[in-house]
Amino acid sequence: MAFKRVNITFIGGYNDGEIIENVPVNQLRAELSFRTQDDIYFASHPSGDMSIMKGKLNSLWHSYSVSVYQKSESALAYTGSVEYVFVEDRDVERCTALTQKNTQCMNAAIHGNPLCTTHNHVNKTKEVTHV
Ligand SMILES: [Zn+2]
């Protein structure tokens, strides 16, 4: 029996015990991440100072941390629910690329990469055309 919509349960970490109901199965990703520490983030100012901010990211944001969860489908066939198991807390850095307006890109960089998915893709395309 196949479920089209399932409940997600989070196991461990900051979101332990949280449940999200009625999620379409085809929208389940292998990995989910959430901002931690009550929406705190670091901002870097033009002066070089760093400050701790809270809430929605502003144009000075520098980094924040997320809790990463990975999908475990072991319970799906029996209960119609999917468990996401806590893997780690991870720092998310800001993309270091500059936009056409010469401001720093607002996107988050890919884990282990200084660039976001958009700029990483642009770079790859350039490399290919220059070869
Ligand atoms: Zn970018």
Distance 126 CA to ligand 1 centre (A): 15
Alpha carbon distances (Å) from 114 to 7, 25, 96, 120: 35, 32, 6, 9
Instruction: Kindly give the distance from the C-alpha atom of residue 37 to the centroid of ligand 1, in angstroms, as a whole number.
Output: 24
CA dist 74 and 43 (Å) reads 40
Closest CA to 39 of 15, 64, 69: 64
pTM of the model: 0.75
Distance 107 CA to ligand 1 centre (A): 5
8 Å CB contact between 62 and 42: yes
Ligand 1 center to 101 CA (angstroms): 13
- Give 128 Cα–ligand 1 centroid separation in angstroms: 19
Count CA atoms within 13 Å of residue 85 on its CB side. 5
pLDDT of residue 104: 94
Tell me, in angstroms, the distance from the centre of ligand 1 to residue 125's CA: 14
pLDDT of residue 81: 85
Q: How far is the CA of 55 from the centre of ligand 1 (A)?
A: 21
- Predicted confidence pLDDT, tens digits, the chain (131 residues): 567 888 999 999 988 999 999 999 888 999 999 898 778 999 999 898 999 999 999 999 999 999 999 998 776 666 778 999 999 999 999 999 999 999 999 999 999 999 999 999 876 766 555 44
Q: Which residues hold their Cβ within 5 A of ligand 1, which is an ion? A: 95, 97, 105, 107, 116, 119
Determine the pLDDT at residue 127.
59
Residue 41: burial class (beta carbons within 10 Å; 0-12, 13-18, 19+) = buried
